[in-house]
A and B are shown apart, each in its own frame.
Chain A
Amino acid sequence: MKYTKEHEWLRVEGDLVVVGITEHAATQLGDVVFIELPEIETMVAEGDEVAVIESVKAASDIAAPMDGEIVAVNDKLVEKPGLVNADPMTAWFFKMRVDDLSVLDDFMDEDEYQDMIG
């Protein structure tokens, strides 16, 4: 499992990268009430705002952690946004196909992420 500075977790599944938000992020956001997911088969660039997550308090964006193609989205979250609070580590948002999985080496591991959130 890898982590971004924006509090996303990244999990490799075959040749895909699965993206979700961390428990820390879910706790900070509070109760999630709305999620908008990207279209599948969309090419995205690192930093593109691809999903929207709204809690009772505020709206925030989820950015693509790397260049690639969105190949799957978790429609269950649209129906039940509260899944993100219930179990953030299994509530994945989207899956990306990337050219080279070695880009994951640039992201934080568990220990580094835990250090960052202190």
Chain B
Amino acid sequence: MTEESPNLRRLPLHGIHLRLGARMVPFAGWEMPVQYPAGVMKEHLHTRAAAGLFDVSHMGQLLLRPRSDMAALGAAFERLMPVDVLGLAPGRQRYGMLTTDTGGILDDLMFANRGDHLFVVVNAACASQDTAHLRAHLADVAEVVAVEDRGLLALQGPAAEAALSRLIPAAAAMRFMDLISADWRGHDLWISRSGYTGEDGYEISVPVLVIEAFTESLLAMPDVAPIGLGARDSLRLEAGLCLYGHDIDTTTSPIEAGLGWAIQKARRPGGARAGGFAGAERILAELADGPRRLRVGLRPEGRAPMREGTDLFTPDGTPVGRVTSGGFGPSVEAPVAMAYVAAAHAAPGTQLLGEVRGKRLPVTVVPLPFRPSTYKR
């Protein structure tokens, strides 16, 4: 199946993926495992029932090292995101998004305070653009270092804590969005209690030198199975999480995307450091008055999945929006989708029609997520 694609980058675990029988596909410039022989459905359900191991080494890992002090770095970073950076305690991680001057989203990311620097994880497809953006805007306050000697693993699901604790005992006591450094066989792992499946779990930044051995140690546990990009997509969709380039992009604002929860009090009107971020005019106006359109969950009534690009209409035929992510939810056991619809039609319970292969099929607006998260707060 795998075609020769000399321009694609290979993961440090490429050999393990091939040995496990993965089907490899091009994704964001990388050769990635989309599924293993178990298949998307079983991989998805295994993650919800036990523990799934994802190779997310394609994602960009960056260090922001302050030239003088963390406060100057935090203040400058806050000009690029509508997020409270200065208030993030050491050893804690937070979700954020780089915004454009017009209030769109350049990328969404996770950032962590590692005491004397920030650790940032960005989407693979945006990594080089993000690095340039950060270097351009943070040049005076920080050195922006692309981490090239580490891979990134995600271990997700109800058995993740027990599995990782066997190798790293300190993982058990972590809370959601904690980040620690831990020694494994003389190498420094950076472990956060987070992920992108809606399940409890961890993301683990592992030196390339030991990532194969560390992966084998996890895969040797009966509860841990390798999971491909296919199931990662259906898991995050059921969890109501945005996929950059699909559910969010430079045209969608954080408020339209329903990401207002990521804008802490300090950055809102009346807060200690209100506004002052790229796109504040639009974002704060939408926060006050409501956006024109909103990201919503959709449950098609029949069994036909409504995929990205499906046009949505009111029952009387007025166009009201479009699906940005959609498919079958293996845990929901039904099709699920996310879409942007005009604000007047975004209330849960609203009946709409989605056009699939020329037929307009009934669909209901529902609250997100489709499945409650199980984070260890």
- A residues near B (Cβ < 8 Å) are 30-31, 33-34, 36, 52, 54-59, 78, 81, 85
Beta-carbon contact of A31 and B357 below 8 Å? no
* Partner pick for A59 among B34, B39, B307, CB 8 A cutoff: B307
Measured between alpha carbons, how far is A44 from B247 in the docked complex, in Å? 39
Given A30-B230, A36-B304, A56-B41, output 7 extra A-B contacts at Cβ < 8 Å: A30-B41, A31-B330, A33-B328, A34-B304, A34-B305, A34-B335, A59-B307
Query: For A33, what are the chain B residues with a Cβ–Cβ distance below 8 Å?
Result: 41, 303, 305, 328, 335
- B residues near A (Cβ < 8 Å) are 34-35, 39-42, 44, 230, 234, 303-305, 307, 327-328, 330, 335, 357
Query: For B328, what are the chain A residues with a Cβ–Cβ distance below 8 Å?
Result: 33-34, 54, 56
7 contacts between A and B (CB under 8 A): A34-B305, A36-B304, A52-B304, A52-B357, A56-B230, A56-B328, A58-B307
Give min CB distance, A99 to chain B, whole Å.
29
Query: For B41, what are the chain A residues with a Cβ–Cβ distance below 8 Å?
Result: 30-31, 33, 56
Chain B residue with Cβ nearest A85: B39
Beta-carbon contact of A56 and B304 below 8 Å? no
* Partner pick for B305 among A30, A59, A78, A85, CB 8 A cutoff: A59
* Partner pick for A34 among B35, B44, B303, CB 8 A cutoff: B303
Beta-carbon contact of A56 and B327 below 8 Å? yes
Query: For B44, what are the chain A residues with a Cβ–Cβ distance below 8 Å?
Result: 56
Where chain B touches its partner, the secondary structure class is mixed
Measured between alpha carbons, how far is A57 from B229 in the docked complex, in Å? 10
Query: For A59, what are the chain B residues with a Cβ–Cβ distance below 8 Å?
Result: 305, 307
Measured between alpha carbons, how far is A31 from B36 in the docked complex, in Å? 12
Measured between alpha carbons, how far is A23 from B232 in the docked complex, in Å? 25
Given contacts A30-B35, A31-B39, A34-B335, contact A56 B234 (CB under 8 A): yes
Measured between alpha carbons, how far is A58 from B327 in the docked complex, in Å? 8
Given contacts A56-B234, A56-B330, A57-B230, contact A30 B335 (CB under 8 A): no
Beta-carbon contact of B335 and A56 below 8 Å? no
Measured between alpha carbons, how far is A11 from B234 in the docked complex, in Å? 36
Query: For B304, what are the chain A residues with a Cβ–Cβ distance below 8 Å?
Result: 34, 36, 52, 54
Beta-carbon contact of B40 and A56 below 8 Å? yes
In the complex, the 7 A-B pairs of residues with the closest C-beta atoms, listed nearest first: A31-B41, A33-B328, A56-B40, A34-B303, A31-B39, A34-B304, A56-B328
Measured between alpha carbons, how far is A47 from B35 in the docked complex, in Å? 31
Query: For B335, what are the chain A residues with a Cβ–Cβ distance below 8 Å?
Result: 33-34
Measured between alpha carbons, how far is A33 from B303 in the docked complex, in Å? 8
Query: For A81, what are the chain B residues with a Cβ–Cβ distance below 8 Å?
Result: 303
Interface centre among A30, A78, A81 (most CB of B within 10 A): A30
Measured between alpha carbons, how far is A74 from B274 in the docked complex, in Å? 62
Chain A residue with Cβ nearest B41: A31
Measured between alpha carbons, how far is A31 from B41 in the docked complex, in Å? 6
Given contacts A30-B230, A33-B328, contact A57 B305 (CB under 8 A): no
Give min CB distance, B301 to chain A, whole Å.
13
* Partner pick for B40 among A34, A36, A57, A78, CB 8 A cutoff: A57
Measured between alpha carbons, how far is A84 from B44 in the docked complex, in Å? 19
Give min CB distance, B116 to chain A, whole Å.
44
Give min CB distance, B362 to chain A, whole Å.
15
Measured between alpha carbons, how far is A78 from B42 in the docked complex, in Å? 20
Chain A residue with Cβ nearest B327: A56
Chain A residue with Cβ nearest B307: A59
Query: For A78, what are the chain B residues with a Cβ–Cβ distance below 8 Å?
Result: 303
Give min CB distance, A47 to chain B, whole Å.
16
Query: For B330, what are the chain A residues with a Cβ–Cβ distance below 8 Å?
Result: 31, 56
Chain A residue with Cβ nearest B230: A57
Measured between alpha carbons, how far is A15 from B226 in the docked complex, in Å? 48
Query: For A58, what are the chain B residues with a Cβ–Cβ distance below 8 Å?
Result: 307
Query: For B234, what are the chain A residues with a Cβ–Cβ distance below 8 Å?
Result: 56
Query: For B327, what are the chain A residues with a Cβ–Cβ distance below 8 Å?
Result: 56-57
